[in-house]
Structure 1
Amino acid sequence: MEIALALSWLTLAVWCGLLCLRAGFWRVHKPAAAPAPAQWPEVVAIIPARNESAVIAHAVAGVLGQRYPGHLTLVVVDDHSQDGTADLARAAAATTARPQALSVIGARELPAGWSGKVWAQSEGLAEADRIAPHACHVWLTDADIWHGPGVLAALVARAEHEQRDLVSLMVRLRCESAWERLVVPAFVFFFAKLYPFARVRDPRSRVAAAAGGCMLVRRPALARIGGFAAIRGELIDDCSLAARIKPGGAIRLDLADDSLSLRPYDDWRSLWDMIARSAYTQLRYSPLLLAGAVAGMALTYLAPPVLALAGGWRLWPAWLAWGAMAFAYLPMLREYRQPAWLAPLLPVTALFYLGATIDSARRYWLRRGGQWKGRAQAPARS
């Protein structure tokens, strides 16, 4: 009982520290709109696409449907698709007010040492240099993201007003199926805990992060870091790009209102695979970091309910820790319009994430890490 009580106090101390000392990561804060610039700069958007026939039309329509006062060009990079992705992109562009703004190119063969998405983005940037050499900003988005008509103007206004080299939005993930309701809000919650948004935008902090579904990058900032070659082998390309840019320029990450993910996760397996694809990469393929992550997740999320239910009110600090956890999770549940009763179930979701993380390491050791679009992209283990 003495050991259990000590662990209970430790879990409570952990959650008090997270609530008070982690830059308010659990709060949902969205800034007021930035003022419009005197002149709207030219923008070129890039969408890498590999076998995205189910969603590419919506993504293209969203980009070309922007109410953006400046000049906008879109490059879709068809990364060896076999499902008519390129033709569907062209057909979607023809239904918009900017049909001539689309350029569809095919990516060359993937070179050694490059991840597939980053190579496709690099190919898109080369095409952008050819067709839009005077574009001041590059808008990086994905084939499974739809953007509302005012998104780009808001991004550019923010970047120009605050003089940011990178402005990114964490797009709203789909949250409709039962598994999505259980897992998706926690995904954003855990991301914000790892990369508190307030520290991302603070130039004094070394924390750098971005969300690949929506990133507006200044062209000179990309040139300064050496283009996409600087992150050519990265699987977590968005945060790697932010980490490269931040030492020489300000960055920002916020939650999106009108940028939506179109990709469904209707069963547990698809969500499990989404996490397992890059979890061990986040831990730099280190068994020691994996052990630390397992211990940390167990202490932070699993220990409070286990101790509370096993020890009753004698272990009241564990009950308080569990309550603090639920309290911290409530704002994200509200953001995703989910019921409050899901908050005490966060330990169940954390156990799901923990299992997927361990499976991510297992896949790496079986040389099947980083699976995405038919490619195993994690580096071979030594």
Structure 2
Amino acid sequence: MLHNKKILLGVTGSIAAYKSAVLTRLLVKAGATVKVVMTSAAHDFITPLTLATLSKNPVLTTFSKDETGQWNNHVDLGLWADAMVIAPASANTLAKMANGLCDNLLLAVYLSARCPVFFAPAMDLDMLQHPVTQHNLHKLKDFGNILIDPTYGELASGLVGQGRMAEPEEIVAALEKHFATQKKLGGKKVLVTAGPTYEALDPVRFIGNHSSGKMGFAIAEALADLGAEVNLVTGPTQQHTTHTQINVINVTSAEQMYTACATHFPTADVTVLAAAVADYRPVEVAEQKIKKSDANLTIELTKTRDIAASLGKMKHNGQVIVGFALETENEKANALSKLERKNFDLIVLNSLNDKGAGFQHDTNKITIIDKEQRVKSFELKTKKEVAQDIVNAIIEKLHD
């Protein structure tokens, strides 16, 4: 699985740095091309010569190559790699990564990397359990980095507990698993909707909702990571993506979202309707700003086009449609009704009664229901983790 893969290995200042020699050798043996970036502190634990010999590439630590002042281009390194692995990842480096600090070459490469970033912490058990370290680990995972959990055992301090860096064989296995599943959706075309829609009242006011678009963007990126070609139709949101497999189509109103969806739906293998589309729009839109007056203002509303139902009627054999149901009461019954009425294959149910779920949160708590009324509930997770659960359900449905 690692044959011809380009792996960037970051080594930081930890006694576990000695394991990076074995890791480098295993990666090269598996057919990977390995380049190593070290922090200055890592030199106290393992020599650059050792890793250069094993990787068959120069080891980089500083921004300039030698006294001539030639530049070690961190941007090129970040773009070169298929995956970056920081092992060992010290508490100091984790804190800098989590907060965007950039005072050495390794951190500059990390901030420039467009590839998946794996990190294998190594530190004493009390450092690992400190609330600040746990907060940093959570942030890094939420950014999309992949944690390779430290293991339990004897530590350099003489204490026994959690904090040992994962063994090189475990790290190689994590990389192999990643690349084995990376292209499960290769060749598939996917349509995803995200964010709210805004329905204009006048040139400055609108009817909308609190959707942040986080869930839809996370799903789009999870699908693209598995090789899918994604058209992401998004309402107004602060979310953005630079994923090369995602084509972003920006819209404002429900009608604009319908037009974009109707254009791309016929060729889509999978459609995920994660947007929170307004159900109503004003019958008339004022050409000028509506001025405040002493009189009450009455606005007549009419239904917007039902995008989900329209696409459900257009669905042809083999297409999979995933809908969402955000409910406040009779959650399961309402979700099942929506699943049937709109010809969905799967529906993702979440409830505003669940703490940490719904709009604006970085977390979500979902239940996935299929046409056979099979129900699978999940615990509260980050939206990136939730997105992966949804994508896994989609892959299962494609193979039914």
Q: TM-score band (shorter)?
A: under 0.3
TM-score normalised by the chain length of structure 2: 0.24
TM-score normalised by the chain length of structure 1: 0.25
Structure possessing the higher radius of gyration over alpha carbons: 2
Which is helix-richer, 1 or 2?
1
Q: Which has the higher contact order (CA 8 A, sep 6+)?
A: 1
